[in-house]
Amino acid sequence: MNFIDLFAGAGGLSEGFMRAGYKPIAHVEFDEAACFTLKTRQAYYFLKQNNKEYIYIDYLKGAITRDDLYSCIPDEILSSVINKTIGQDNQSIFKEIEKQLYNHEVDFIIGGPPCQAYSLVGRARDENNMEKDKRNYLYIQYNKFLNKYKPKFFVFENVPGLLSARSGRYYNNMKNLFDKSGYHIELFSLSANNFGVLQNRKRLLIIGYKKEFNITLPDLGNYNAGLFSTVQSVFSDLPKLQAGDGVEKFVTYAGKTNTWLTDSNIRNGIKVLTQHVARPHTNQDKEIYRIAVDKWNNEKKRLDYNNLPENLKTHNNRHSFFDRFKVVAADMPYSHTVVAHIAKDGHYYIHPDIEQNRSITVREAARLQSFPDDFFFEGVKERQSRTAAFKQIGNAVPPLMAYCISKKLKSIK
């Protein structure tokens, strides 16, 4: 089965579908750095399928450049990643997709528009409750692709706040629009940790299928992957770092894998570890981190910003966001949600080891999102941008959740 990925981001949803055996026709994404990430991942799959994985490993090690890597990949594979804005460039996107179709039908369209306009946090922070945000209406553009390619199924992922945004008006309009386009839809409320992801991430999934199909969708809302562990398992084999330490392109593991890392496909055979570099932090931040970690480890309590010593309190806002410093608790069965804000600072994602005294690295954040270690996050320039990587990770669908969903959909008769 093949698919088109809209609003693809770094490809978390796509990664799960490809791992389950689906074939991508095209990925459409407006962010240039994310498009480089998508191209690099397509390069990985092509080389793996053609027994040339060693070329990709050389790239991870830094032995060859990104241009060298891409020179080994057919143009039609790299050009299947379309760096355009849905809504503004639809006709040119259609033309690019047509080049990839080769007269084949589209089985799936997957993806979800940016969720900030629907999220409860986004609405709370915006003076207009996000009602004037154009992203509220990107589902209309999504529907244009349904009308154009008439896939058998579509998978639309977003935040639970979609149901309450504008008192449910956006969701009802969306439902009516999909109905007019010839699709039944079913709605599922998901928790990423039920799919084996060690993260307390709540998501909304809309699955649509053509009205002429007489099918029963799997009960994804009550899915249980049977993968259980603690957050400590995510970090257990990684080299210990201090703030500002690490190697961008290639370091070896500090320990053996474990059952969760293997079963989740995070450790999948390539013995190369990249992007495990710690942010530098000020002495003041590191002192706050120590207090936050000590409070969690010894009292199982989160740090309240207003309870810090006066010399450590530099924010003027003392009336909200009291938990702006938060530890990724090692002894919990899942972490708090990794969001794109991690690109701005690491205060909300403090490493649980007080001896390391830092925020988590790109690789650690990627693991919390269930990205495999051989997944490389690109910047626009070849020299990796940590900010771009964190943003891509925070906005992504956990690949392990996507894999479980796609496997269940593949079993539909």
pLDDT band (50, 70, 90) for residue 240: very high
Could you tell me how many residues make up the chain? Answer: 413
Please check whether residue 17 lies inside any domain of the structure.
Answer: yes
Output the average pLDDT for the chain. 91
Return the sign of the alpha-carbon dihedral for residues 284, 289, 295, 298.
Answer: negative
Which candidate, 190, 90, 189, places its Cα nearest to that of 146? 90
pLDDT at 127: 46
Please check whether residue 316 lies inside any domain of the structure.
Answer: no
Print the domain residue range for 16. 2-226+397-410
320 or 188, which is more confident?
188
Catalytic residue, candidates 35, 72, 115, 404: 115
Q: Is the pLDDT of residue 116 over 90?
A: no
Catalytic residue check, 72:
no
Please check whether residue 258 lies inside any domain of the structure.
Answer: no
Continuous H helices in 32-166: 32-49, 53-61, 66-70, 75-78, 90-101, 120-125, 138-149
pLDDT at 152: 97
How does pLDDT run across 278-310, given as a tens digit for each residue?
Answer: 999 999 999 999 999 999 999 999 999 989 998
Residue 110, CA distances (Å) to 22, 56, 131, 316, 332 in order: 11, 27, 25, 43, 32
pLDDT at 125: 46
pLDDT at 285: 96
Query: How many domains does the chain fold into?
Result: 1
pLDDT band (50, 70, 90) for residue 122: very low
pLDDT at 128: 47
Q: Is the pLDDT of residue 129 over 80?
A: no
Q: Which residues contact 410 (CB under 8 A, 6 or more apart)?
A: 1, 20, 21, 22
Q: How far apart are CA 227 and CA 261, in angstroms?
A: 10
Which candidate, 24, 133, 140, 139, places its Cα nearest to that of 82? 24
Does this model's pTM top 0.85? My answer is yes
Please check whether residue 388 lies inside any domain of the structure.
Answer: no
- The mean-pLDDT minimum among 189-203, 271-285, 319-333, 385-399 falls in 319-333
pLDDT at 124: 39
Please check whether residue 244 lies inside any domain of the structure.
Answer: no
Residue 391, CA distances (Å) to 20, 91, 117, 280 in order: 25, 28, 17, 18
- The mean-pLDDT minimum among 63-72, 86-95, 124-133, 309-318 falls in 124-133
Q: How far apart are CA 342 and CA 334, in angstroms?
A: 17
pLDDT at 40: 98
- For residue 42, the number of C-alpha atoms closer than 13 Å in the C-beta half-sphere is 27
Please check whether residue 56 lies inside any domain of the structure.
Answer: yes
Q: How far apart are CA 133 and CA 145, in angstroms?
A: 21
How does pLDDT run across 22-37, given as a tens digit for each residue?
Answer: 999 999 999 999 999 9
CATH of the domain at 76: 3.40.50.150
Average pLDDT over residues 351-379: 96
pLDDT band (50, 70, 90) for residue 407: very high
- The mean-pLDDT minimum among 1-5, 50-54, 232-236 falls in 232-236
Please check whether residue 130 lies inside any domain of the structure.
Answer: yes
How does pLDDT run across 145-200, given as a tens digit for each residue?
Answer: 999 999 999 999 998 888 887 788 889 999 999 999 999 999 999 999 999 999 98
pLDDT at 32: 97
Please check whether residue 268 lies inside any domain of the structure.
Answer: no
pLDDT at 123: 35
